[in-house]
Amino acid sequence: MADVEFSIKGHVAHVRLNRPQGLNAITQEMDDLLFDAWSTINTNPDIWCAVLSAEGEKGFCIGADVSGGAERKVRMALGGGLTGIGGPLVTLRKPLIAAVQGFCVGGGFELAMCADIIVAAETAQFGLPETKVGIIGECGVVHRAMRQLPHHIAMGMILTGERIKADVAERFGLVNEVVPFADLSQAAQKWADKINAASPLANQAAKAAALGRLGHPLEVALMTRFEEIEQYAESQDKREGELAGAERRKPVWTGR
């Protein structure tokens, strides 16, 4: 079995970290496999959304595998650059759901924060242990935490290395739903089904617009023309939505 499993079921791509004996710490080989997965998801029009999960109850991912001790010839870019750590930033254009359990710390925490939806098992714990163990390098996880959590909560985690549990993460809006570990996979699939009930091209255009001007003033975002939205206006899905509305039926999306 590969340390990163990739499969497609219907219109959903499933990316699964499969190195539970190492708490799914990301090796260089896994990094390459993840890059291949993200690239396939971005370029395959029949993939409408993706679910990122991990094998084993103890840990979703504890970040980069540093057990070897040797310096890497290629700097780690967790998620194939999805997080932008030491490598080119790869933006996933399709909606991404992260199903998180156990330890979700360091680069693993950042990988989860790259998702659009986070479903957490009751066992999940989120943390930034870097400063606690005297390590600080590329700060992708720090920057994302500051943007996805209240200021003082994020700073408390950054400066102490202490973890927060799933129910606390939900209270602060970091995760969308908390479920028993046994229900984690099913909960993630339900989110995928709800996402795919919408037009896939409209979802991709909406994600591009929502994130594309996130760091800009509202006035700038309101004045921006988004290429993805303009392309959607000429799509088959746009016409299908109008026709379905006129005929009072559910639309049948094609992603074209």
130 as an active site residue: the answer is: yes
Which residue do the tokens 């219907």 mark? Answer: 10
Q: Of 5, 57, 130, 170, which one is the catalytic site residue?
A: 130
Q: Of 5, 29, 57, 110, which one is the catalytic site residue?
A: 110
Torsions phi, psi for 21 (to 5 deg):
-65, -20
162 as an active site residue: the answer is: no
Closest by CA to 61, choosing from 5, 140, 124, 144, is: 124
Tokens standing for 217? 């003033």
The residues facing 51 across adjacent strands are: 14, 97
d(CA 208, CA 206): 5
Closest by CA to 51, choosing from 98, 111, 4, is: 98
d(CA 65, CA 28): 8
Just list the catalytic residues: 110, 130
